[in-house]
């Protein structure tokens, strides 16, 4: 598995992230989702500052992730693929938020 450098734009700021080639599309989509969420939070005017906006977006996405995990867990043994996908998504969110910090 070789890594490649991917440039993503979040709140009009460009970030350089290394990821495995086969994960590139998922990373780009994750960054787009984060960008949309952060812009929506910024647009409300209720939260000011990049760090606070990032934390609020992370809390919202983490909440959705936990809800999805609960649904997957209640689905039974057939949820192992979903659990793996959710854990990978959680890792990507953590990595992206660490880059912002």
Mean pLDDT per block of 10 residues along the chain (101 residues) reads: 91 94 93 94 92 93 88 65 74 76 61
In this structure, which CATH number among 3.40.50.300, 3.30.160.880, 3.40.50.720, 3.30.930.10 belongs to the domain 3-100? Answer: 3.30.160.880
The sign of the dihedral angle between the CA atoms of 37, 41, 44, 48 is negative
What's the confidence (pLDDT) of residue 80?
A: 56
**Look-up: residue for tokens 């989509």?**
29
Residue 16 three-state SS: strand
Q: What is the pLDDT of residues 38-60, one digit of tens each?
A: 999 999 999 989 899 999 999 99
What's the confidence (pLDDT) of residue 25?
A: 94
Burial of 27-61, coded b for 16+ CB within 10 Å and e otherwise, reads beebbeebbebbeebbeeeebeeeeebbbbbbeeb
Q: What is the pTM of this model?
A: 0.68
Angle at 97 between CA 92 and CA 99, to 5 degrees: 100
């Amino acid at each position: 598995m070789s890594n490649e450098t991917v440039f993503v734009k979040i709140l009009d700021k460009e970030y350089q992230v290394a990821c495995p080639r086969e994960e590139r599309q998922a990373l780009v989509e994750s960054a787009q989702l984060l960008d949309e969420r952060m812009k929506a939070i910024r647009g409300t005017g209720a939260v000011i500052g990049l760090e606070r906006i990032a934390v609020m977006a992370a809390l919202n996405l983490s909440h959705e992730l936990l809800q999805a995990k609960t649904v997957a867990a209640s689905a039974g043994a057939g949820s192992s693929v979903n659990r793996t996908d959710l854990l990978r998504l959680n890792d990507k969110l953590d990595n992206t938020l660490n880059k912002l910090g």
